[in-house]
């Protein structure tokens, strides 16, 4: 998490020249831990002032309108503050990975092209990120490990100290990046971060070159908390215990979970309850299987295997 915070500082210094950069998610288990304080510190280092604050709104439509206005305003650093609902959406995903996007200004009937080279941060208690946005987040976790974090006392004004040392901090951050690029060792064994290759080279690899952990390690918890992934893991494990890699129909999977005839397959029944939203039916299960076709989870890949003699689609879990 400390490495991720350092990477966020480096990102803020060079974001204007990067084609893309991940969303910096600052999360904590309790209010008053210092999430907004860290966001402001990063912004002060980059711009000399606190971050422009943006509310996400109560729904996706309102959130997209506010983000559209923020992109058009051109602020260097934007903090989406105190998010209290799950985060996802096409617009924010596009803003993180595309150098330019076309958006419609509020109250207009035309589209304009705007650059997306702004530093985007989000603060939340137990940040909940869903969908494709999950792979576009670098997580920074804060934990004061006290019941009332807001009651802690400090001997210095943190933001005032950051502002006082801003020149030294900017110089140090740029020196780290330049030293790495000039070292001749700019070849990393880190896993590829698709869509953020330039960011990884400038803001991630220099820190691991200095001996710090990968700044993206903390973000792995987002994948572990993915409810859809958990459902797939449970369902695939229960399915494989019953059928292994045998091609089967949706109806046969459901029949194998019937408690009246197969009392030993309770875990399969429980997984199907979740997959089919507690209304287990072949059509619902087939729709779910089509949606997840080709997905690989825990070394198992879901594949369609043609039709049986009754022209019903067959499905199979393949060990990879």
Q: What is the pLDDT along the chain (320 residues), one digit of tens a residue?
A: 999 999 999 999 999 999 999 999 999 999 999 999 999 999 999 999 999 898 877 777 788 888 888 888 888 999 999 888 888 888 899 999 999 998 888 777 788 889 999 999 999 999 988 888 888 999 999 999 999 999 999 999 999 999 999 999 999 999 999 999 998 776 678 888 888 999 999 999 999 999 999 999 988 877 767 777 788 888 899 999 889 989 999 999 988 888 777 666 888 888 888 888 878 888 889 999 998 888 888 888 999 888 888 888 899 998 87
Spatial distance between the Cα atoms of 299 and 118, rounded to a whole number of angstroms: 38
C-alpha 192/C-alpha 214 separation (Å) is: 12
Q: In terms of Cα–Cα distance, which of 165, 130, 190, 182 is closest to 7?
A: 190
Task: Report the relative pairing of strands 137-141 and 100-103 from DSSP bridges.
Answer: unpaired
Give, rounded to a whole angstrom, the gap between the first and last alpha carbons of the chain: 32
3-state SS, residue 273 = helix
Calpha distance 64→94 (Å, rounded): 11
Return the sign of the alpha-carbon dihedral for residues 187, 190, 196, 201: negative
Distance of CA 56 to the CA centre of its chain: 16
Pairing of strands 100-103, 112-115: antiparallel
Full-model pTM = 0.79
Find, among 30, 4, 17, 6, the residue nearest to 137 by Cα. 4
Name the CA radius of gyration of the chain, rounded.
24
pLDDT at 319: 85
Q: Parallel, antiparallel, or unpaired: how do β-strands 296-297 and 300-307 relate?
A: antiparallel
Q: Which residues pair with 318 in a beta bridge?
A: 301
70 Cβ contact list (under 8 Å, min separation 6):
52, 54, 78, 118
The encoded tokens of residue 37 equal: 């304080």
What is the structure's pLDDT at 7? 97
């Amino acid at each position: 998490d400390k490495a991720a915070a350092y990477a966020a500082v480096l990102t803020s210094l060079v974001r204007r020249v990067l084609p893309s950069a991940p969303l910096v998610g600052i999360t904590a288990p309790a209010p008053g831990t210092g999430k907004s304080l860290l966001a402001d510190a990063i912004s002060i280092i980059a711009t000399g002032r606190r971050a422009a604050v943006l509310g996400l709104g109560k729904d996706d439509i309102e959130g997209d309108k506010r983000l559209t206005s923020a992109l058009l305003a051109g602020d260097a650093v934007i903090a989406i503050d105190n998010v209290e609902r799950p985060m996802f959406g096409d617009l924010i995903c596009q803003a993180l990975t595309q150098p330019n996007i076309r958006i419609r200004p509020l109250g207009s009937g035309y589209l304009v092209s705007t650059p997306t080279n702004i530093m985007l941060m989000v603060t939340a208690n137990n940040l909940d990120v869903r969908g494709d946005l999950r792979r576009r987040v670098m997580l920074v976790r804060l934990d004061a490990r006290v019941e009332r974090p807001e009651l802690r006392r400090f001997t210095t004004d943190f933001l005032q100290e950051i502002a006082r040392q801003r020149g030294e901090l900017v110089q140090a951050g740029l020196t780290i990046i330049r030293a790495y690029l000039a070292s001749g060792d700019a070849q990393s064994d880190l896993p590829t971060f698709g869509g953020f290759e330039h960011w990884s080279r400038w803001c991630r690899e220099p820190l691991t070159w200095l001996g710090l952990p990968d700044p993206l390690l903390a973000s792995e918890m987002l994948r572990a908390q993915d409810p859809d992934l958990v459902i797939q893991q449970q369902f695939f494990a229960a399915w494989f215990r019953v059928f292994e890699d045998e091609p089967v129909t949706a109806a046969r999977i459901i029949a194998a979970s019937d408690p009246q005839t197969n009392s030993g397959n309770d875990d399969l029944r429980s997984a199907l309850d979740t997959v089919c939203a507690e209304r287990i039916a072949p059509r619902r299960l087939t729709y779910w299987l089509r949606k997840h076709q080709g997905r690989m989870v825990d070394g198992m890949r879901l594949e369609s295997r043609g039709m049986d003699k009754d022209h019903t689609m067959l499905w199979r879990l393949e060990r990879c």
